[in-house]
Each structure stands twice: as C-alpha cells, then as structure tokens.
Amino acid sequence: MKPKEFKFLKEHELCRLATASKDGEPHVTPVIYALDSYDIVIATDYGTKKLKNIMENPKVALVVDEFRPNKGLMIQGRCEVLERGEEYLRLLNILFDRFDFYRKNSWKEGEAPILRIRAEKCASWSIE
C-alpha cells in the first residue's frame, strides 16, 4: 500500500465489505473499521451473512470511497476471525478507542467476533 493510500484509509471509517460463500455467492455490506497498522479491524455479530461467508471463504474485498470528488481505494485480502484471547482483547481496545458507539455499547470476549483483514492487493483512483 502506498503512503497516500494508507493516509486515505486512516482518514475514513466506513467501507463496503464484500464476502462470498463457499459457492461464490457474493454479499456486500457497509461496515465501520479501525486500523491496526495496515490491517483492517471490523466488529461483527454472530449470525450475520458476512461472518458465515468468511468462515466458509476467508477471501474478502473492501472499498473505501468518496463520491465528490470521486476517489477511493479497493483492498483484496484474507480475513481472520478472532473470538477470544490476548489478540482479540488488543483489537477490541483498538475498536473502543476509535468509536464512541462501541465504548458506550461495549462487549466482552465471546460476545462478538472481530475480523482482521490483511491486505494482499490494493488499487486506488484519484487519491492525491
């Protein structure tokens, strides 16, 4: 990821996350995210389609963009699901630090999975 792309990613908090089932059925949903270095960190709930898809197929893509002016970043990578443990708690604190909503509606280990996406490919447009 180029420095200008990373800066763009840090300046935003909403993306569209694309997942696919083991059969390749696509699913896209808007989610808020935080960063752990270059990794994308997202909280989700049990029972969601995106979590089911990721458990079947860890390949994901996401887009962070702006309409006016039209610019954005697309990331493809692999998603890891964390549910408990030291790393889970560390990422949970990153989410709590980033989002007031999460601090006010906090949860504990085992109550909501955390997704960590490692970028394998990035493409951007009109990011200066």
pLDDT tens column, 52-107? 999 999 999 999 999 989 999 999 999 999 999 999 999 999 999 999 988 888 88
- Residue 33 DSSP SS3: coil
Name the residue ranges covered by the structural domains of the chain. 3-121
CA gyration radius for the chain?
A: 14
Cα separation of 18 and 116, whole Å? 14
- Other beta carbons less than 10 A from residue 119's beta carbon: 18
Share above pLDDT 90 across residues of the chain, in percent, rounded to a whole number: 87
Check whether domain 3-121 has CATH 3.30.420.40, yes or no:
no
Q: Is the pLDDT of residue 11 over 90?
A: yes
Spatial separation of the C-alpha atoms in residues 77 and 123, rounded to whole Å: 12
Least confident of 7-21, 22-36, 40-54, 95-109: 95-109
- The predicted pLDDT at position 10 comes to 94
Residue 60 · residue 54 · CB < 8 Å:
yes
| Residue 21: both structure tokens together | 């089932």
Q: With the CA atoms of 39, 29, 13 and 116 taken in that order, what torsion angle do they form, in degrees rounded to the nearest 10? A: -20
What pLDDT score does 46 carry? Answer: 94
pLDDT on residue 103:
86
